[in-house]
Amino acid sequence: MSRIFAAVFALIFAATAHAESPDPENWEAVLAEAKGETVYFHAWGGETRINAYIAWAAGEVKERFGVTLKQVKVADTANVVSKIVAEKAAGRDENGTVDLVWINGENFVSLKEAGLLLDRPWATKLPNYRFVDEEGKPTVKTDFTVPTDGLEAPWGMAKLVFFYDTARLENPPKSMPALLEWAKANPGRFTYPQPPDFLGSTFLKQALYELAPDPEVLMQAADDETFARQTKPLFAFLDELHPLLWRQGRAFPQNYGTLRRLLADSEVDITFAFNPADASSAIAAHELPDTVRSYVPEAGSIANSHFLAIPFNANAKAGAMVVANFLMSPEAQARKQDPNVWGDPTVLDVDALPQEDRARFDALDLGVATLPPEDLGKALPEPHASWMERLETEWARRYRAGQ
């Protein structure tokens, strides 16, 4: 009887141990568990250069750690959140279909508040997290004002930067009121992606920051009263701007790739991206003319970090940690920052890196259209996630029906 009891106990213990999240402080055990796992990485698939970078990373983690990385290309991360929520509702607490997800903002907040992320802080315990620049880049610790609490790993920085073609435009407008006046004189030469595309929604937040009566309120959760008061000037601005847009505002680009092509094809004169090196990357890839240059609004522009998260029921938790740790490595971060590869700014403290790793960054040519860090202007923190949710809903109510 005792042998039977012992065997049953062993089986229960083994099952429980397998279900528990790996502990990144025991990194050798994580590496051992990760070997042979397949990590399904749900990531935005709308940019060829980013997809190529992820494919490179997949080759590296396969060769070095025996982890197979498969990118699941998504158009909207909210759909991934819905999938995780549906699996929880169906009682699928293990063997989930999402192992790693590129995430930030309201999507992170939704998963965190619902308890649908990994059940322990893990990101700050990864070996390469020691290189992350918490002091110089405080947004690596918060996501749309919400503390990350070690539940997601930072892997890139973002700042809204505008681009224009100097062959067609000499002095671009550097504020929302100036943009409106410029659009009146140049109808049809500006547009923005249709929300809820993340870049289109970011344009709304940028305009909100510049036009709101009290921008400090944006750091707090929105309610009906504050939303109506703070957004009144924004929607008045959009009502006036939309008839002056490309196609008279009756249609909008679906994503940034389409927006960039409009600039390349001389259909618009001004575009924008959430990456200070994007114009240089596009020039290097012959997607934009070499006369394109960057600028930032006089009041500053939205900035944040983007992250990797592991859902509560991921099937390959250890493998996901290994991938996230590799993507935070100086080697992977330097490659990502190269405009010829992606151009995404690093989350690391480059000055604190070992000399060999620092040299990787020092050797980078950030490109002819990339503003130096001292010229990027003030970084405006992301508003509380509730503002973006409400902005997207109200934008759709007001404008989508008229398309």
63-87: pLDDT as tens digits: 999 999 999 999 889 999 999 999 9
Percentage with pLDDT > 90 across the chain: 82
Burial 314-327 (b: 16+ CB within 10 A, else e): bbbbbbbbbbbbbb
Would you tell me how many other CB atoms lie within 10 Å of the CB of residue 217?
Answer: 17
Residues whose CB falls within 8 Å of the CB of residue 394, separated by 6 or more in sequence, listed in order? 227, 231, 235
Count the residues in the chain. Answer: 403
Residue 74's SS3 state is strand
Backbone φ and ψ of 165, nearest 5°: -95, 115
380-391: pLDDT as tens digits: 989 998 999 999
Any idea which residue has 């040519």 for tokens? 365
pLDDT of 105 > 90? The answer is: no
The per-residue pLDDT for 400 is 81
Backbone φ and ψ of 276, nearest 5°: -60, -20
Reference 202, options 259, 282, 265, 138; nearest CA is: 259
CA 345 to chain centre: 12
346-378: pLDDT as tens digits: 999 999 999 999 999 999 998 999 998 789 888
H/E element, 305: strand 301-309
The per-residue pLDDT for 379 is 86
The per-residue pLDDT for 6 is 37
Residues whose CB falls within 8 Å of the CB of residue 9, separated by 6 or more in sequence, listed in order? none
Cis peptide before 172 (omega within 30 of 0): no
d(CA 384, CA 387) in angstroms, rounded, equals 6
Which pair of structure tokens corresponds to residue 24? 């990144």
Which pair of structure tokens corresponds to residue 84? 């995780």
Reference 307, options 58, 127, 109, 114; nearest CA is: 109
Residues whose CB falls within 8 Å of the CB of residue 107, separated by 6 or more in sequence, listed in order? 77, 78, 80, 81
Any idea which residue has 């929300």 for tokens? 195
Which pair of structure tokens corresponds to residue 383? 């508003």
**Is this prediction's pTM over 0.75?**
yes
* Residue 92: HSE in the Cβ half-sphere, 13 Å Cα cutoff: 14
> What is the identity of the amino acid at 350?
V
Percentage with pLDDT > 70 across the chain: 95
Q: Report angle CA 396, 159, 306 to the nearest 5 degrees.
A: 80
Per-residue confidence at 119, pLDDT binned at 50, 70, 90?
confident
pLDDT of 401 > 80? The answer is: no
181-238: pLDDT as tens digits: 999 999 999 999 999 998 999 999 999 999 999 999 999 999 999 999 999 999 999 9
**Is residue 378 classed exposed, middle or buried when 0-12, 13-18 and 19+ CB atoms within 10 A define those classes?**
exposed
pLDDT of 101 > 70? The answer is: yes
14-64: pLDDT as tens digits: 333 345 789 999 999 999 999 999 999 999 998 899 999 999 999 999 999
Specify whether the CB–CB gap between 339 and 284 falls below 8 A: yes
Reference 226, options 111, 63, 87, 391; nearest CA is: 391
Mean pLDDT of the chain: 92
Burial 354-369 (b: 16+ CB within 10 A, else e): eeebbebbeebebbeb
Q: What is the mean pLDDT of the segment spanning 248-267? A: 94
> What is the identity of the amino acid at 299?
A
Which of the following CATH numbers is that of domain 23-157+304-372: 3.40.50.300, 1.10.150.170, 3.30.70.141, 3.40.190.10? Answer: 3.40.190.10
Specify the domain boundaries for CATH 3.40.190.10 within the chain: 23-157+304-372, 161-303+377-402
CATH number of the domain at 161-303+377-402, please? Answer: 3.40.190.10
The per-residue pLDDT for 70 is 98
DSSP 20: S
